[in-house]
Chain A
Amino acid sequence: MNFILDVIIQGLLYSVLAMGVALTFKVLRSADLTVEGSFPLGAVVGAMALIEGFPIPLVLLLAFTAGWLAGIVTSWLQLVLKIQPLLSGILTMSGLYTINLIIAQNRSNLPLFQTTTLFTRPSWVSIDQTRFYHLGLLLVIVLILKLLIDWFLTTKKGMMLSVAGDNPLLVVGLGENLGSYQTLGLSLSNGIIALSGALVVMMTRFYDLSLGFGMLVVALASIVMGDSLLKSTTAKLTTMAIFGSILYRFSVASALALRLHPSGLRLMTVLIFVIALVFQPSHMQSFIKSMKGGWGFATSSKHSKIISFKHTK
Chain B
Amino acid sequence: MKQIIKALALITLSFTMLSACVSTSTPNEDEVFTIGVIQFVTHPALDATLEGLIDHLTSENLISRFNIIVQNAQGDPAVAATIAQQFVSDGVDLIYAIATPAAQAAFNATTDTNIPVVINAVTSPVGAGVVVSLESSETNVTGVTNAAPLEPQLALVKEMLPLAQNIGFLFNLGEVNGRVLVEEAQRIAPLLGMNAIVIGVSNISEVAAAMGQLLPQVDAVFNVTDNLVASATAQIVDLALQANKPVFGSDPNLLNLGLVAVDGVDFFALGQQAGVMVIDILLNDTLPTDIPIGKPTDTRLFINEEMAQALGITIPQSLLDRFGQ
Chain A residues within CB distance 8 Å of chain B = 2-4, 6, 10, 14, 97-98, 101, 106-109, 111-114, 121, 127, 130, 200, 203-206, 208-211, 213-214, 218, 228-232, 247, 249-250, 252-254, 256-259, 262-263, 265-266
**A259, B112: Cβ atoms closer than 8 Å:** no
Given contact pairs A204-B81, A205-B104, enumerate 13 new A-B contacts (beta carbons under 8 Å): A3-B89, A14-B78, A98-B202, A106-B173, A107-B176, A108-B175, A111-B129, A206-B101, A206-B104, A230-B3, A252-B79, A257-B21, A258-B14
**A113, B14: Cβ atoms closer than 8 Å:** no
Q: Which residues of B contact A231 (CB under 8 A)?
A: 3
Q: Distance in Å from the Cβ of B63 to the closest Cβ of chain A? A: 19
Q: Which of B66-74, B151-159, B232-240, B275-283 contacts A (4 or more CB under 8 A)?
A: B66-74
- For residue B274, CB closer than 8 A to chain A, the reply is no
Q: Distance in Å from the Cβ of A81 to the closest Cβ of chain B? A: 23
Q: How many A-B residue pairs have CB under 8 A?
A: 124
Q: Which residues of A contact B108 (CB under 8 A)?
A: 113, 204-206
**A257, B76: Cβ atoms closer than 8 Å:** no
**A6, B86: Cβ atoms closer than 8 Å:** yes
**A4, B3: Cβ atoms closer than 8 Å:** no
Contact of B174 (CB < 8 Å), options: A4, A209, A253, A254: A209
A262 and B174 contact, Cβ closer than 8 Å, known pairs A6-B85, A228-B3, A252-B79: no
- For residue B62, CB closer than 8 A to chain A, the reply is no
- For residue B82, CB closer than 8 A to chain A, the reply is yes
16 pairs, A vs B, C-beta closer than 8 Å: A4-B15, A108-B174, A109-B101, A127-B112, A204-B105, A205-B108, A206-B77, A213-B75, A250-B11, A257-B14, A257-B18, A258-B14, A258-B18, A258-B21, A262-B70, A265-B74
Q: Which residues of A contact B39 (CB under 8 A)?
A: 262
Q: Which residues of A contact B79 (CB under 8 A)?
A: 252, 256, 265
**B3, A232: Cβ atoms closer than 8 Å:** yes
**B78, A206: Cβ atoms closer than 8 Å:** no
Q: Distance in Å from the Cβ of A102 to the closest Cβ of chain B? A: 11
Contact of B76 (CB < 8 Å), options: A3, A111, A130, A213: A213
**A113, B176: Cβ atoms closer than 8 Å:** no
A214 and B101 contact, Cβ closer than 8 Å, known pairs A6-B85, A256-B82: no
> Which residues 128-163 of B sit at the A interface, judged by CB distance below 8 A?
128-130
Q: Which residues of B contact A114 (CB under 8 A)?
A: 129
- For residue B17, CB closer than 8 A to chain A, the reply is yes
**B83, A256: Cβ atoms closer than 8 Å:** yes
What is the interface of chain A mostly: helix, strand, loop, or mixed?
A: helix
- For residue B107, CB closer than 8 A to chain A, the reply is yes
**A262, B72: Cβ atoms closer than 8 Å:** yes
**B112, A210: Cβ atoms closer than 8 Å:** no
What is the chain A residue whose CB lies nearest that of B87? A256
A109 and B14 contact, Cβ closer than 8 Å, known pairs A205-B108, A229-B7, A265-B74: no
Q: Which residues of B contact A229 (CB under 8 A)?
A: 3-4, 7
**A200, B78: Cβ atoms closer than 8 Å:** yes
Q: Distance in Å from the Cβ of B21 to the closest Cβ of chain A? A: 7
- For residue B272, CB closer than 8 A to chain A, the reply is no
**A130, B112: Cβ atoms closer than 8 Å:** yes
Mask, B2-13, CB within 8 Å of A = 1, is 111001000100
**B77, A204: Cβ atoms closer than 8 Å:** yes
**B76, A210: Cβ atoms closer than 8 Å:** yes
- For residue B100, CB closer than 8 A to chain A, the reply is yes
What is the chain A residue whose CB lies nearest that of B175? A108
Q: Distance in Å from the Cβ of A110 to the closest Cβ of chain B? A: 8
10 closest cross-chain pairs (CB), A and B: A111-B129, A262-B72, A206-B104, A2-B89, A113-B129, A127-B112, A205-B108, A208-B77, A254-B14, A204-B81
Q: Distance in Å from the Cβ of B176 to the closest Cβ of chain A? A: 5
Q: Which residues of B contact A208 (CB under 8 A)?
A: 77, 100-101, 104
Q: Cα distance A218–B78 when bound, in Å?
A: 11
Q: Cα distance A205–B18 when bound, in Å?
A: 28
- For residue B309, CB closer than 8 A to chain A, the reply is no
What is the chain A residue whose CB lies nearest that of B89? A2
- For residue B179, CB closer than 8 A to chain A, the reply is yes
- For residue B42, CB closer than 8 A to chain A, the reply is yes
Contact of B104 (CB < 8 Å), options: A111, A209, A210: A111
A108 and B15 contact, Cβ closer than 8 Å, known pairs A113-B108, A211-B78, A262-B42: no
**A262, B71: Cβ atoms closer than 8 Å:** yes
Q: Which residues of B contact A121 (CB under 8 A)?
A: 112
A210 and B77 contact, Cβ closer than 8 Å, known pairs A109-B100, A247-B7, A263-B42: yes
Contact of A214 (CB < 8 Å), options: B3, B70, B76, B89: B76
A211 and B77 contact, Cβ closer than 8 Å, known pairs A109-B101, A113-B107: yes
Q: Cα distance A217–B227 when bound, in Å?
A: 24
**B69, A259: Cβ atoms closer than 8 Å:** yes
What is the chain A residue whose CB lies nearest that of B2? A232
> Which residues 40-95 of B sit at the A interface, judged by CB distance below 8 A?
42, 69-72, 74-79, 81-83, 85-86, 89
A252 and B74 contact, Cβ closer than 8 Å, known pairs A111-B129, A229-B4: no
Mask, B112-129, CB within 8 Å of A = 1, is 100000000000000111
**B82, A109: Cβ atoms closer than 8 Å:** no
**B15, A3: Cβ atoms closer than 8 Å:** yes
Q: Cα distance A157–B283 when bound, in Å?
A: 65
Q: Which residues of B contact A204 (CB under 8 A)?
A: 77-78, 81, 104-105, 108
Q: Distance in Å from the Cβ of B79 to the closest Cβ of chain A? A: 7
Q: Distance in Å from the Cβ of A280 to the closest Cβ of chain B? A: 12
Q: Distance in Å from the Cβ of A108 to the closest Cβ of chain B? A: 6
Q: Distance in Å from the Cβ of A249 to the closest Cβ of chain B? A: 8
Q: Cα distance A77–B82 when bound, in Å?
A: 37
The residue among B3, B4, B77 with the most chain A CB atoms within 10 A of its own CB is B77
